[in-house]
């Protein structure tokens, strides 16, 4: 590992996955705006297909673990913390508050589209894990997958909620970009061997979460994946403890 010397090219490479994500949301919205009526059966089939693809991605990531016991413990403790904090519920409350506030605006359709799409695209394990992968490893595959999902989803949302969906690209790029940029500096304070081990187990733990997102998208489950996100912090704590003992 080595410290990052910042140039425009380096910043671009770190943010590439995030930029692609934002652009596909915009393109998807523009397409959806012209497709006023997408058959319900087509929407269901497309979302199921995307969900199955995400399941395979999550499975592939989950199998990378070198010590799956870390993954299990992290997911269990993360779920306990997430449920105790009520992370999923709190995020939904924030969304409801925003919808109530912005929905009273005269541009109702724009604000509703913006709020609804932002909640869908920003809240989720893929945004966090993908941005970390982009910053730490320069691997944008998770964000590219998320970009495709968000692009198709924005087509469906824009067909009913209008052009406001497009503006959700702004918080998506800001949120994921900040995480990716921050992740590039982690190696300044964390030993390379420790970081390598964390990346492996974080990828595997995040893969299980992505697997759950895929099941949800396919309509097979209703797992509160947001409540599993503290598991990433637990992974960091366990790997660090094992490294120093």
CA distances from 45 to 41, 49, 70, 83, 127 (A): 6, 6, 36, 31, 24
Domain that residue 116 falls in: 8-244
| Model pTM score | 0.71
Structure tokens at 15: 């943010």
- Residue 63 maps to a domain: yes
Eight-class DSSP state of 38: -
Q: What is the pLDDT of residue 6?
A: 53
Question: Domain tally for the chain?
Answer: 1
- Spatial CB neighbours of 31, under 8 Å, sequence gap ≥ 6: 155, 158
- Residue 3 maps to a domain: no
Greatest Cα pair distance in the chain: 60
Indicate the SS3 state at residue 83. helix
Per-residue burial over 190-216, b if 16 or more Cβ lie within 10 Å, else e, is beeebbebbbbbbbbbbbbbbbbbbbb
Indicate the SS3 state at residue 49. helix
How many other CB atoms are there within 10 angstroms of residue 90's CB atom? Answer: 11
Q: What is the pLDDT of residue 195?
A: 78
Eight-class DSSP state of 124: S
Q: What is the pLDDT of residue 108?
A: 43
- Residue 138 maps to a domain: yes
Low-confidence ranges of the chain (pLDDT < 70): 1-10, 12, 36, 91-92, 94-112, 115-116, 119, 123-125, 187
- Residue 1 maps to a domain: no
- Residue 15 maps to a domain: yes
């Amino acid at each position: 590992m080595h410290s990052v010397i910042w140039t425009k090219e380096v910043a671009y490479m770190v943010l590439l996955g995030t930029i692609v994500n934002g652009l596909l949301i915009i393109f998807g919205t523009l397409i959806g705006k012209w497709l006023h009526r997408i058959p319900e059966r087509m929407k269901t089939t497309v979302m199921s297909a995307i969900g199955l693809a995400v399941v395979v991605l999550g499975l592939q990531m989950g199998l990378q673990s070198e010590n799956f016991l870390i993954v299990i413990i992290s997911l269990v403790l993360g779920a306990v913390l997430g449920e105790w904090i009520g992370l999923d519920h709190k995020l939904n409350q924030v969304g409801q508050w925003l919808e109530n506030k912005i929905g009273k605006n005269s541009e109702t359709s724009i604000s509703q589209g913006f709020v609804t799409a932002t909640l869908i695209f920003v809240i989720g394990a893929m945004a966090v894990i993908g941005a970390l992968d982009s910053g730490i490893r320069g691997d944008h595959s998770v964000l590219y997958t998320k970009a495709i999902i968000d692009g198709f989803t924005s087509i469906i949302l824009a067909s009913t909620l209008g052009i406001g969906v497009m503006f959700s690209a702004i918080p998506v790029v800001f949120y994921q970009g900040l995480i990716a940029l921050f992740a590039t500096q982690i190696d300044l304070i964390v030993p390379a061997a420790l970081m390598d081990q964390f990346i492996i187990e974080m990828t595997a733990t995040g893969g299980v979460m992505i697997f759950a997102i895929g099941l949800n998208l396919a309509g097979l489950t209703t797992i509160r994946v947001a409540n599993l996100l503290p598991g990433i912090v637990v992974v960091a704590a366990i790997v660090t403890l094992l490294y120093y003992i």
